[in-house]
């Protein structure tokens, strides 16, 4: 604020800035291709290459449209190593405008319908690549993960964050080989793992039977639609899963939905990095997550992040975020 400005002047200045932001956003969105880009990035994080395939336009042209939308605050550009992904703005003065514009697009619009059909094709292709990777690597999943940070070290921190006392019902989202179930089985009354890969579930069942973990079970289920009612889990673990997720925020929100008051949600994943081979060779969707990003997802879901711990590795760092319901909810 300019020194000596009156409160009324400050309010007028804020209103003027808000109007400028609104007009800038409307000008940026006022073109058919850019409206289509808003609609697509409201549904998924997409690269320039993927958007070019969907729209059937040249990459330079699509890039120009994306830059205009980003400059106006309607889109966010997420840089990951040598790649960049775009999504509709989550915060900022223009985020609400972006969401409103998407809602105003007629759902029966032929161009939008064609775009969404091609988007579904890209999603199926992503899912197929991930499924093929899981199928090829199910038997050596633990070996692959151990290349980055020693799992024993991570597991000890997880135990501390969840609590070393008795656990009622523990849920392991994206259980893979069932390793997390094995780790927490001695302290849990009951432990359930879910996974979409039937090959991984087969490995998990074999491992749990061999370890004689009778209180553990696995289910074929989607992390975005957990087959449990609200507030039934005493602990929810999302261990090295979110970097494969199409919508990590939705996965966190679904984990929060089933978490009981007094329970603990623990997310384990990589800090931001630039190891591109994890994307190209191992189907990672995201190259790590910043603390603020995961904390924001938890807060939107109604949780408070109680502790964050970083375990530096070479070249990757593993981060653990522990969250729970606020005290007023617990009480």
Question: Bridge-partner residues for 204, per DSSP?
Answer: none
Residue 137 is predicted with a pLDDT of 75
Domain boundaries, the chain: 7-105, 140-330
CA-atom Rg of the chain in angstroms: 22
Q: Does domain 140-330 have CATH number 3.40.50.300?
A: no
CB 66, CB 51: distance < 8 Å: yes
- Look up residue 199 and give its two tokens: 């090959």
Looking at residue 209, its pLDDT comes to 86
Q: What is the pLDDT of residue 25?
A: 85
Distance between CA atoms of 203 and 68, rounded to whole angstroms? 48
Bridge partners (DSSP) of residue 320 are: 268, 309
193 token code pair? 């793992």
Task: Please tell me the distance from the alpha carbon of residue 174 to that of residue 220, in angstroms, as a whole number.
Answer: 10
User: Residue 2 pLDDT more than 60?
Assistant: no
What pTM value is reported for the model?
0.73
Residues 6+ apart with CB under 8 A from 84: 47, 48, 77, 78
Tell me how far the alpha carbon of residue 213 is from its chain's centroid: 30
Q: Is the pLDDT of residue 231 over 70?
A: yes
If you average pLDDT over residues 220-240, what whole number do you get? 96
Confidence of residue 174 (pLDDT cuts 50, 70, 90): very high
The answer to whether residues 26 and 35 touch, using CB atoms and an 8 Å cutoff, is no
Name the pairing type of β-strands 304-311 and 318-324. Answer: antiparallel
User: Do 253 and 295 contact (CB within 8 A), yes or no?
Assistant: no
Confidence of residue 100 (pLDDT cuts 50, 70, 90): very high
Span of 23-27, 90-94, 114-118, 121-125 with lowest mean pLDDT: 90-94
For residue 259, give the H/E element and its range. Answer: strand 259-270
Q: Are 80 and 56 in contact (CB under 8 A)?
A: no
For domain 7-105, say whether CATH 3.40.470.10 is its number.
no
d(CA 292, CA 13) in angstroms, rounded, equals 30
CB 240 within 8 A of CB 180: no
Mean pLDDT value across residues 189-211: 90
Residue pLDDT, tens place only, 57-96: 999 999 999 999 999 999 988 776 677 889 898 777 788 8
Question: Percent of the chain at pLDDT above 90?
Answer: 60
């Amino acid at each position: 604020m300019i020194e000596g400005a009156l409160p009324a002047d400050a309010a007028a200045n804020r209103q003027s800035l808000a109007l400028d932001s609104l007009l800038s956003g409307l000008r940026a969105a006022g073109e058919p291709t850019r409206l289509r880009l808003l609609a697509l990035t409201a549904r998924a994080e997409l690269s320039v290459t993927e958007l070019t395939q969907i729209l059937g336009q040249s990459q330079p042209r699509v890039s120009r449209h994306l830059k205009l939308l980003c400059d106006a605050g309607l889109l966010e550009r997420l840089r990951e190593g040598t790649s960049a992904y775009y999504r509709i703005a989550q915060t900022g003065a223009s985020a609400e405008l972006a969401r409103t514009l998407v809602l105003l697009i007629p759902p029966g619009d032929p161009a939008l319908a064609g775009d969404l059909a091609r988007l579904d094709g890209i999603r199926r292709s992503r899912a197929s690549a991930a499924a093929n990777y899981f199928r090829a690597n199910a038997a050596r999943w633990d070996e692959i993960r151990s290349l980055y940070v020693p799992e024993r070290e991570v597991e000890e921190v997880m135990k501390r964050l969840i609590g070393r006392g008795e656990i009622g019902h523990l849920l392991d989202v994206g259980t893979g080989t069932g390793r997390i179930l094995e780790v927490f089985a001695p302290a849990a009354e009951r432990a359930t793992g879910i996974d979409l890969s039937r090959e991984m579930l087969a490995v998990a069942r074999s491992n749990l039977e061999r370890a004689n973990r009778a209180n553990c079970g696995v289910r074929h289920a989607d992390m975005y639609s957990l087959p449990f009612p609200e507030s039934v889990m005493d602990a929810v673990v999302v261990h090295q899963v979110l970097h494969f997720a199409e919508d990590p925020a939705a996965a966190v929100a679904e984990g929060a939905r089933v978490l009981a008051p007094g329970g603990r949600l623990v997310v384990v994943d990589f800090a931001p990095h630039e190891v591109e081979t994890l994307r190209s060779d191992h189907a990672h969707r995201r190259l790590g997550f910043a603390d603020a990003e995961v904390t924001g997802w938890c807060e939107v879901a109604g949780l408070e992040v109680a502790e964050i711990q970083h375990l530096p590795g070479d070249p990757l760092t593993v981060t653990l975020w522990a969250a729970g319901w606020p005290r007023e909810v617990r009480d």
